[in-house]
């Protein structure tokens, strides 16, 4: 009934060999944990190997997304009810109007090319939900964050460029359904890029 013979005692590994194999497996697991798993999952890189293997960036992004999700849940449960989005005043004449749709989890960025000190008026509104946003600017060797928000249905104001470069917004839909964002801008900028 058996397909193989029972091995002889001499063929079995000794206790010393089993112990050595167990120690090697534990050391290998510890090395993988420190060099790969901690940087890739949690952004923790005590050895620097994660940076070399480009795992730490992945872990940092995962931690940022987890923090955003926790903040979204906290903001949703803390707010009694979201106020309906206010329509943008129709009397204003805008230079550009940029509508776009974001699916759940999707993000997009729109930037204005501006000179240092230039000002651009903006207003954006979300139809069908709320978004997280980050208003920021960048240029070679420079970056700035102007404002961030979570669970926002509209915003308006004046964006004043801190330096010559690209200045604008990043939006992410953390809701469960598609939303449409309409951005309206006017002022001192030379181009608008998506």
State whether 100 and 175 are in the same domain.
yes
- Annotate 103-121 with b (16+ C-beta within 10 A) or e (fewer): eeeeeeebbbbbeeebebb
Domain assignment present for 85: no
For the beta sheet containing 165-172, the strands, ordered from the edge strand earlier in sequence to the opposite edge, are 142-152, 131-139, 165-172, 107-114, 191-193
Q: How confident is the model over 105-124, as pLDDT tens digits?
A: 999 999 999 999 999 999 99
Residue 21's domain comprises 14-78
Q: How confident is the model over 44-89, as pLDDT tens digits?
A: 888 888 778 777 777 777 777 777 777 777 766 665 554 555 555 4
pTM of this structure: 0.54
Q: How confident is the model over 130-181, as pLDDT tens digits?
A: 999 999 999 999 999 999 999 999 999 999 999 999 999 999 999 999 999 9
CA distance 33 to 10: 36
Domain assignment present for 9: no
Taken in order 182, 188, 191, 194, the sign of the CA dihedral is negative
Q: Which tokens is 122 given?
A: 């903006």
Domain assignment present for 90: no
Domain assignment present for 20: yes
How buried is residue 92: exposed, middle or buried, by Cβ count under 10 Å (0-12/13-18/19+)? exposed
Q: Average pLDDT of 2-21?
A: 81
- pLDDT band at residue 98 under the 50/70/90 scheme: very high
């Amino acid at each position: 009934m058996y397909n193989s013979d029972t091995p002889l005692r001499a063929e079995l590994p000794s206790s010393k060999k089993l112990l050595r194999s167990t120690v090697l497996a534990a050391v290998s697991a510890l090395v993988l944990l420190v060099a790969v798993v901690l940087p890739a999952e949690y952004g923790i890189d005590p050895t620097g190997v994660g940076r070399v293997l480009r795992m730490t960036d992945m872990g940092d992004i995962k931690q940022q997304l987890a923090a955003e999700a926790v903040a979204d849940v906290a903001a949703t449960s803390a707010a009694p009810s979201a106020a309906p989005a206010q329509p943008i005043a129709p009397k204003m004449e805008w230079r550009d109007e940029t509508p776009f749709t974001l699916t759940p989890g999707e993000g997009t960025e729109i930037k204005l090319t501006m000179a240092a000190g230039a000002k651009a008026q903006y207003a954006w509104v979300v139809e069908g939900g709320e978004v997280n946003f980050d208003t920021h600017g960048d240029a070679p060797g420079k970056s700035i964050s102007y404002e961030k928000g979570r669970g926002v249905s509209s915003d308006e104001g004046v964006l004043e460029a801190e330096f010559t470069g690209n200045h604008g917004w990043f939006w992410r839909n953390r809701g469960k359904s598609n939303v449409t964002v309409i951005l309206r801008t006017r002022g001192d900028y030379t181009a608008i890029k998506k």
